[in-house]
């Protein structure tokens, strides 16, 4: 019995048919979309056989031909809704029931004659004829072109009549059928050559044999997800899923290239990567495997070998992202290939199952992260991270912005540099651990910087004296190349050349800036101070660094938001921010600020604006977000190290190193020797007009030895003594210069340069009077303005 609701008249017969058996009749009625089986009395009825219908059959089937006719005549208003279902005629209504009944009788007679004819002409043993007749298939067998074995497989009830030899033949045919269905499937393959001897049987690759069991070739199959296009177009690559036959193993997705099919060892190393996957043959069958895989139907996609914006997609280690969220694999044009550089993969924490985010967590993160310490120190970092998402596009724009700076965080131990970065790093979908310098090899550092275009790579603990000097030099070279996307080339033993573009935005934290005037022009330099840590920020810090907020929820909201900015045309915002920076720099009167330093200021403004807009979008109140005044304070903080008046020069570094060498006893005072053959003399010690008189050549020799002994000779770029002499002469002519005389008469040293220690402490980063005069104190030095020193002292 069946009742179906809300189906059309066209569908009502098939709906009833599902509930009938062969050669059975059913009376149906449609009433307001409902179809019900009925008998002539309007009661729910069971099925009626053909014989019942033709002969007015007996109980227990009360519905009969005459009763149906009577029911129609007494209920003319629903006559068209009453009928009899027959497998050959569908719905039979009152108008045609008499004629169809005669036709059905004639057909039944013809069927019996055909069965008789089939039995007389089929050349089969009597027991098989009886079996065919018993299952009602003798006429069908007679009319088919199949032999008995194939027909028996089709009619499952006949399979029991087959002999053991015939069953073996059936098994062989089924294997071949499986091979053909998989390997010749037009939905899966295109133009597969017939001479390939390798096929898939039961999920494994096997070598096809005509008269014996197939040989196992590999205990897995390879499904091609996409054929990948490389820039070189020399080696075809494939995005594949390796599917093992064992239920105790798991499928694995991998990027492979065509060269894995050249040698068995290469194939095993790159493809047999599961716990149960094996390859049983030699090189001979790898060609067939390659052809089998190469003829699979799969889309063609482009390779993205780094994380970043490619085309209109943000390619991540898992999937690609648009402004709408994750892009379905079938719709994506790019596939991430991490086979060359895997620096970012292990740290990426955003899963590809969903980009839906917890709005409360995103709100709390945005409200708190910029106030974990004084905003003048946090906003440069936040602005840099947001703007670096567009680093490649900014560089490609050309002009003055054909480079993008490195961000450097400096501060004393314990001031919170690393913790600040940990919280933010988790907030952009990365693990909290920094990239290593000391623990990493030069190739791994190279790979780290080459692995991404727009997710910053953070190196912590930049303390050059801790590491091998060659590693520090190599690190600085990689970082320098990252500013304008220069490349690093390597050669293999086979003389193959590999090119690595140094594309990552780079953040460095440590206790000292990268030194050198030219290097500092490539930096946004942010000083972290103890004064920036105030009680009002403690709760925010604890929330960001604790378990109250899942920081990566912010990343889930940030990346689609930034892709929307990319799609909307971010360069118009960048140009406006650039104009605001130009106006501010002019107002501040910062002299000789370089183009790359200006880019750094624009990046802060641009990035903080985007951070603020995302906050508004997720429901953060405007008064809990950074203001333009906060951005200007951040500008003021970083601009202390910009421009010719603020940037450390080669001479500034040299004078600072004099203090380091004196403190470390590499340069000695004349008072240390009875013969008075020392290198420097402190004049007016502990007075406001305190001066360091020092011989240039001796100072140079002491500094050189100090740098060599501490492994810093290649890190610090020393000029020759003659160049320093020229700079000293020029500097001495400047009003208010810390060089008070290029050749002050100083017995027993003769004429040597004279340095105002108070002025030098005020003008030069990392110069301290206390390194030269143990009696000096920071408070003492800060209390004296060199401009106020009387001339007669």
* Domain ranges (residues) in the chain: 3-104, 198-298, 359-639, 650-788
Q: Please answer whether residues 315 and 303 qualify as being in contact, where contact means their C-beta atoms are separated by less than 8 angstroms.
A: no
pLDDT at position 39 is 41
Q: What is the reported pLDDT for 211?
A: 64
Asked if the model's pLDDT at residue 33 lies above 50, the reply is no
State pLDDT tens for residues 548-568. 899 999 999 999 999 999 999
Determine the pLDDT at residue 187.
63
Task: Report d(CA 485, CA 458) in Å as an integer.
Answer: 17
What pLDDT, on a 0 to 100 scale, did the predictor assign at position 783?
39
81-90 pLDDT, tens digit each: 445 545 455 5
Q: Tell me the pLDDT tens digit for each residue of 616-631.
A: 999 999 999 999 999 9
Q: What mean pLDDT do residues 358-370 have?
A: 95
- What average pLDDT does the segment 484-491 reach? 87
Integer angstrom CA distances of residue 359 from 427, 541, 549, 646, 715: 14, 20, 11, 43, 46
What spatial distance separates the first Cα and last Cα of the chain, rounded to whole Å?
A: 118
> Counting every residue, how long is the chain?
793
Greater model confidence, 609 or 545: 609
Among 122-126, 186-190, 356-360, 575-579, whose mean pLDDT is lowest? 186-190
Residue 72 pLDDT exceeds 60: no
The pTM of the whole model exceeds 0.75: no
pLDDT surpassing 90 at residue 615: yes
- pLDDT band, very low/low/confident/very high, at 387 (cuts 50, 70, 90): very high
- pLDDT one-digit tens code per residue, 375-385: 999 999 999 99
Residue with tokens 């009597």: 126
CA distance 53 to 25: 8
pLDDT band at 515 (very low <50, low <70, confident <90, very high): low
Structure-token match 């497989």, residue found = 153
* For residue 667, pLDDT beyond 90: yes
- Which of 246-260, 339-353, 533-547 reaches the highest mean pLDDT? 246-260
**pLDDT at site 719:** 82
Q: Residue 644's pLDDT band (boundaries 50, 70, 90)? A: low
pLDDT-derived band of residue 194, with 50, 70 and 90 as boundaries? low
pLDDT of residue 278 exceeding 70: yes
Using pLDDT thresholds of 50, 70 and 90, give the confidence band for residue 508. very high
Give the contacts of 386 (CB within 8 A, at least 6 positions apart). 558, 562, 606, 607, 608, 610, 611
The per-residue pLDDT of the chain, averaged, comes to: 80
Q: Which pLDDT score is estimated for 354?
A: 78
Q: What is the mean pLDDT of residues 318-322?
A: 91
Q: How far is CA 528 from CA 233, 338, 381, 408, 781, in A?
A: 48, 35, 11, 10, 21
Cα(633)–Cα(83) distance, integer angstroms = 88
Q: Using the predicted structure, report yes or no on whether residue 673 has a pLDDT greater than 70.
A: no
Between 665 and 31, whose confidence is greater? 665
**Res. 779 pLDDT band, cuts 50 70 90:** very low
Does residue 3 register a pLDDT over 80?
Answer: no
**Which residues lie below 8 Å from residue 287, measured CB to CB, with a gap of 6+?**
261
pLDDT of 7 strictly over 60: no
Percent of the chain surpassing pLDDT 70 = 76
315: pLDDT confidence band, cut at 50, 70 and 90?
very high
Q: What is the mean pLDDT of residues 711-729?
A: 80
Query: What pLDDT does residue 47 have?
Result: 41
Lowest pLDDT segment from 21-25, 63-67, 121-125: 21-25
pLDDT-based confidence at residue 609 (cuts at 50, 70, 90) = very high
Give percent of the chain above pLDDT 90: 38
Measured CA angle at 671 (ends 667, 675), to 5 deg: 95
Evaluated on CA atoms 368, 369, 372, 375, the torsion sign reads negative
What is the reported pLDDT for 603? 97
What is the predicted pLDDT for the residue at 243?
92
Q: Average pLDDT of 156-177?
A: 79
Yes or no: say if 416 and 533 are a contact pair by the CB < 8 Å rule. yes
Q: What is the mean pLDDT of residues 265-270?
A: 94
pLDDT at 651 over 70: yes
Question: Who has greater pLDDT, 591 or 51?
Answer: 591
Contact 235, 266 (CB under 8 A): no
- pLDDT in the model for residue 791: 37
CATH, range 359-639: 3.40.50
DSSP 55-113: HTPPTT----HHHHHHHHHH-GGGGGGEEEEETTTEEE-TTTHHHHHHHHHHHHHHHHH
207 pLDDT above the threshold of 90:
no
């Amino acid at each position: 019995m069946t009742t179906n609701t809300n189906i059309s008249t066209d569908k009502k017969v098939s709906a009833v048919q599902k509930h009938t058996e062969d050669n059975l009749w059913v009376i149906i009625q449609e009433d307001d979309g409902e179809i019900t089986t009925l008998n002539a009395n309007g009661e729910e009825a069971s099925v009626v056989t053909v014989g019942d219908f033709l002969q007015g059959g007996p109980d227990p089937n009360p519905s009969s031909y005459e009763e149906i006719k009577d029911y129609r005549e007494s209920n003319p208003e629903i006559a068209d809704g009453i009928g009899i279902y027959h497998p050959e005629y569908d719905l039979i209504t009152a108008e045609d029931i008499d004629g169809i009944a005669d036709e059905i009788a004639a057909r039944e007679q013809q069927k019996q004659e055909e069965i008789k004819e089939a039995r007389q002409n089929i050349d089969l043993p009597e027991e098989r004829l009886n079996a065919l007749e018993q299952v009602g298939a003798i006429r069908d067998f007679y009319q088919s072109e199949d032999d008995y074995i194939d027909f028996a497989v089709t009619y499952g009830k006949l399979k029991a009549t087959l002999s053991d030899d015939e069953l073996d033949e059936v098994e062989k045919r089924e294997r071949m059928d499986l091979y053909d269905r998989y390997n010749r499937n037009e939905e899966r393959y295109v133009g597969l050559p017939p001479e390939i001897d390798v096929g898939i049987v039961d999920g494994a690759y096997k070598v096809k044999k005509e008269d014996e069991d197939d040989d196992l070739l590999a205990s897995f199959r390879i499904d091609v997800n996409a054929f990948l296009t490389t820039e070189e177009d020399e080696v075809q690559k494939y995005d594949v899923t390796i599917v093992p036959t064992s239920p105790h193993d798991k499928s694995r997705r991998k990027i492979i290239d065509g060269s894995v099919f050249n040698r068995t060892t290469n194939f095993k190393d790159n493809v047999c990567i599961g716990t149960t996957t094996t390859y049983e043959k030699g090189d001979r069958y790898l060609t067939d495997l390659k052809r089998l895989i190469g003829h699979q139907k799969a889309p063609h996609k482009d390779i993205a070998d780094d994380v970043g914006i490619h085309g209109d997609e943000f390619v991540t280690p898992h999937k690609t992202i648009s402004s709408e969220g994750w892009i379905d694999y079938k719709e994506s044009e790019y596939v991430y290939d991490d086979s060359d550089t895997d620096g970012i993969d292990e740290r990426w924490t955003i899963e590809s199952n969903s980009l839906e985010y917890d709005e409360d967590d995103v709100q709390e993160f945005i409200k708190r992260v910029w106030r974990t310490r004084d905003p003048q120190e946090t906003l440069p970092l936040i602005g840099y991270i947001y703007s670096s998402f567009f680093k490649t596009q900014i560089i490609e724009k050309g002009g003055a912005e054909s480079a993008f700076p490195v961000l450097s965080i400096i501060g004393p131990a314990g001031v919170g540099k690393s913790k600040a970065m940990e919280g933010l790093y988790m907030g952009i979908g990365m693990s909290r651990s920094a990239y290593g310098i000391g623990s990493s090899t030069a190739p791994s550092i190279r790979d780290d910087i080459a692995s991404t275009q727009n997710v910053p790579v953070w190196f912590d603990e930049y303390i050059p004296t801790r590491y091998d000097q060659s590693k520090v030099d190599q690190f600085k070279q990689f970082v320098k190349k990252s500013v304008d996307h220069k490349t690093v080339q390597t050669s293999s033993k086979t003389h193959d050349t590999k090119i690595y573009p140094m594309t990552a935005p780079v953040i460095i934290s440590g206790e000292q800036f990268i030194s050198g005037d030219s290097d500092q022009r490539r930096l946004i330099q942010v000083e972290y101070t103890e004064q920036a840590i105030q009680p009002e920020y403690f709760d925010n810090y604890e929330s960001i660094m604790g378990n109250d907020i899942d920081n990566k929820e912010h990343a889930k909201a940030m990346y689609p938001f930034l892709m929307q900015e990319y799609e909307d045309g971010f360069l118009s915002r960048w140009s406006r921010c650039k104009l605001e920076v130009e106006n501010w720099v002019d107002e501040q009167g910062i002299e000789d600020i370089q183009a790359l330093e200006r880019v750094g200021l624009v990046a802060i403004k641009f990035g903080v604006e985007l951070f603020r807009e995302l906050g508004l979008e997720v429901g953060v109140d405007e008064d809990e977000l950074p203001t333009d005044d906060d951005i200007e304070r951040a500008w003021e903080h970083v601009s202390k190290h910009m421009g010719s008046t603020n940037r450390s020069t080669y001479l500034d570094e040299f004078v600072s190193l004099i203090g380091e060498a004196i403190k470390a006893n590499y340069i000695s005072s004349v008072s240390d020797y009875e013969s008075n053959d020392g290198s420097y003399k402190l004049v007016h010690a502990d007075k406001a007009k305190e001066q360091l008189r020092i011989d240039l050549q001796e100072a140079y020799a002491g500094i050189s030895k100090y740098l060599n002994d501490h492994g810093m000779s290649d890190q610090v770029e020393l000029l020759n003594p003659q160049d320093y002499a020229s700079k000293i002469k020029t500097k001495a002519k400047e009003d208010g210069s810390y060089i008070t005389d290029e050749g002050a008469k100083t017995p027993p040293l003769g004429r040597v340069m004279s340095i105002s220690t108070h002025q030098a402490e005020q003008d030069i980063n990392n110069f301290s009077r206390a390194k030269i005069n143990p009696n000096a104190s920071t408070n003492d030095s800060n209390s004296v303005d060199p401009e106020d020193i009387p001339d007669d002292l």
